[in-house]
Amino acid sequence: MTAPSPTCTQLSTADWLAAGSSAMGTSHLADSAPCQDSHGLKELPRGGFLAAVADGAGSAAKSEVGSRLAVDVVLAFLAQRLESAPPADDTAWATLIREAFDAAATALVNEAVERNLPLTALSTTLMLAVVHPQRSLMAGVGDCVAVAQTSGSAPSPDGAQGTTGEWSLPIKPARGEYANETTFLTSPGWPTRLQVEFLAATPERVALFSDGLLRLALNLAAAAPHAPFFNSVFAFLTSQPSLDITAQALGEFLQSDRVNARTDDDKTLVVAWRCPVV
């Protein structure tokens, strides 16, 4: 059986370019299961953008529905709320983010009722990045990951460090005591596990990904981003002649033998970078 084409998205604003892709893992292909990852990008009306990644639970019957719904709701909620003046301070920002995640969780409850399913059938994690002219932050429930690079020039095509800024991991993946155990947006008490972290400055580059890429993208022992991975990925993707080709290349990368040799899980990667000053 041939894997379906990855789901790809892209975003272009006055200041940012972004692309994302979700691709089925080889284990799901073998089991004839759907890709349970979802992602989304949305431009903000006052500048900046939103990005979200969700990873549906492998054991949940309709987690692909849950992950898609969680992404769509959290992005739509925040885009609508940020049409007016942004929150006045970090406390207000954190409150807004909690409201957005609560809206997504409530949508999952309503969807489960409508489909006559147990809520656990829609289990999904959710990771969010907000890049706004006034404030940048990351927030998440579960083990998806977001990283940021806050300064530095573009890496060379061979992925060398050069003068690139340092990659940071604001939120560590929320893993449980056992392998593949995490908190879902459908888990009891998920609000106590919601992590919200503010960035000290507006980033130059941002990446979000599902746990299918953990072993490639993170130094798990050090709980830190694997800088050569991100430097090479961004060097390759930002060198493409158009954003359409960038999104396509990202999907092809996620389905490549190089990636599939390291993970059989679904995998999602969303990347965003500031437009070069002309």
DSSP structural state of residue 275: P
Domains and CATH numbers, the chain: 7-274 (3.60.40.10)
pLDDT at 194: 97
Burial of 153 (0-12, 13-18, 19+ CB in 10 A): exposed
User: What is the helix (H) or strand (E) element at residue 218, kind and residue range?
Assistant: strand 218-219
Rounded Cα distance between 92 and 162, Å, is 38
- pTM for the predicted model, two decimal places: 0.91
pLDDT digits (tens), the chain, 278 positions:
567 889 999 999 999 999 999 999 988 777 778 999 999 999 999 899 999 999 999 889 999 999 999 999 999 999 999 998 899 999 999 999 999 999 999 999 999 999 999 999 999 999 999 999 999 999 999 999 999 998 754 444 343 333 458 899 999 877 644 456 789 999 999 999 999 999 999 999 999 999 999 999 999 888 899 999 999 999 999 999 999 999 999 999 999 999 999 999 999 999 999 987 54
Q: Which structure tokens are listed for 156?
A: 């060379």
Burial of 30 (0-12, 13-18, 19+ CB in 10 A): exposed
Q: Count CA atoms within 13 Å of residue 224 on its CB side.
A: 8
**CA 6 remoteness from chain centre:** 15
pLDDT at 154: 43
pLDDT at 151: 72
Burial of 179 (0-12, 13-18, 19+ CB in 10 A): exposed
